[in-house]
Amino acid sequence: MNIIFASDNNYAPYLATTLLSVLNNHKGYPIKFYILDLGINPLNREIISSLVDKTLNQIEFIPVSEDDFRNMPKTIDYISLATYARLKLTQYLPNIGRAIYLDIDILVNNSLIPLWETKLEDKWMGACLDAFIEYERPEYKYKIGLTDNQIYFNAGVLLIDLKKWRTTDIYLDAINWLKQYGEIIHYQDQDILNGLLKDKVLYLNTRYNFMPSQRARYIKYKKHHNILLSNLEMPTMPIAICHYCGHDKAWHANCTHTNAYLYRQIFKQITAAPASWQSLFEHIKLNQKVKLLKNSLRDKYKYKIY
């Protein structure tokens, strides 16, 4: 299984936590990690590498220049320019056929092997719908050229057929697409990928990219049944990936999304984490810890989210 991350040095602690969550759910299964490296320092690279059992798994840091993306729109302050690196995946990874791309603000909660083995057929990639755009801001997707029948996807988890991506130049296509929509977009390369690949996506079960907006809609459905969830939106349990997209991340004290407490527990397993890493996790008071635990138990036993 090939897994791709993209990170700069500021996000190294979160990359390490997400990577370890992958390893914890795939003991004995060979994985090759490709890190699109936008300036991770040698010490942080060493710590991240130490998490990987080299007898079974591999890890490769691929140097990426942030200068390549300086002219790309920077519209969200908490999203690094590292996110644009995936537009050049075929250049950085010329010899692999398919890969799973993961954002680093996620927690892997279950096996990704079923995702890895998903047949894409004639599609270029697999992704999950983004409930926030589809149901709370549907007018937004029309601004970037999508129609009612074209579902906006979240790009935090992607199963990519790199062979099909090599039939075009995604990065050049992105530059050309931005000439029309560059003044409009808000969600950076996610908008670009939606614009370019809107008819080339296999929509995955949302268990592979369970986001706060999806959780809110699912709980509302469970409590009142006054909304309908489509087959594309209804998650199959157990959740495989919790995605802490949006402003509140799992390392923030006020994050209440599914399994946020577990994300911190996995970080604590990184025994080599320096104090500088630990300082990037906001301190949680005892009453907040209790709230997080109650939130998780309520999800699991009342709303059957686990």
pLDDT digit string, tens, across residues 142-177: 999 999 999 999 999 999 999 999 999 999 999 999
Neighbour-count burial for 262-298, b at 16+ CB within 10 Å, e otherwise: bbbebbeebeebeeebeeebeebeeebeeebeebbee
**Can you tell me the distance from the alpha carbon of 107 to that of 111, in angstroms, rounded to the nearest whole number?**
12
Segment 46-53 long-range contacts (CB within 8 Å, at least 24 positions apart): 47/12, 47/16, 47/270, 47/272, 47/273, 47/274, 48/12, 48/15, 48/16, 48/19, 50/272, 51/16, 51/19, 51/20, 51/23, 51/270, 52/19, 52/23, 53/23
Domains of the chain and CATH, by start: 2-206 (3.90.550.10), 212-301 (no CATH)
Max Cα–Cα distance, the chain, nearest Å? 54
Average pLDDT of the residues in 235-242? 97
CA angle 221, 224, 230 (to 5 degrees): 25
Answer yes or no: is pLDDT of 272 > 70. yes
- Eight-state DSSP code of residue 20: H
Neighbour-count burial for 170-192, b at 16+ CB within 10 Å, e otherwise: bbeebeebbeeeeeebebbbbbb
pLDDT at residue 174, rounded to an integer: 93
pLDDT at residue 119, rounded to an integer: 97
pLDDT at residue 71, rounded to an integer: 76
Answer yes or no: is pLDDT of 52 > 80. yes
Sequence-ordered list of residues with C-beta below 8 angstroms from that of 215, at least 6 positions apart, any chain: 257, 258, 299, 305
pLDDT at residue 78, rounded to an integer: 65
Answer yes or no: is pLDDT of 80 > 70. no
Answer yes or no: is pLDDT of 186 > 90. no
Strands 241-243 and 201-203 turn out to be: unpaired
pLDDT digit string, tens, across residues 3-39: 999 999 999 999 999 999 999 999 999 999 999 999 9
pTM score of the predicted model: 0.94
Sequence-ordered list of residues with C-beta below 8 angstroms from that of 294, at least 6 positions apart, any chain: none
Average pLDDT of the residues in 38-46? 97
Answer yes or no: is pLDDT of 99 > 70. yes
pLDDT at residue 79, rounded to an integer: 67
The token duo for 140 is 């937004």
Beta bridge partners of 243: 106
Verify cis geometry, omega within 30 degrees of 0, for the bond prior to 238: yes
pLDDT digit string, tens, across residues 100-129: 999 999 999 999 999 999 999 999 999 999
Nearest Cα to Cα of residue 194 among 156, 153, 162: 153
Q: What is the dihedral of CA 10, 14, 18, 23, to 10 degrees?
A: 90
CA angle 160, 165, 170 (to 5 degrees): 115
Answer yes or no: is pLDDT of 73 > 80. no
**Can you tell me the distance from the alpha carbon of 209 to that of 61, in angstroms, rounded to the nearest whole number?**
25
The token duo for 226 is 């006054």
At 39 the three-state DSSP class reads coil
**Can you tell me the distance from the alpha carbon of 202 to that of 122, in angstroms, rounded to the nearest whole number?**
9
Strands 98-102 and 153-161 turn out to be: antiparallel
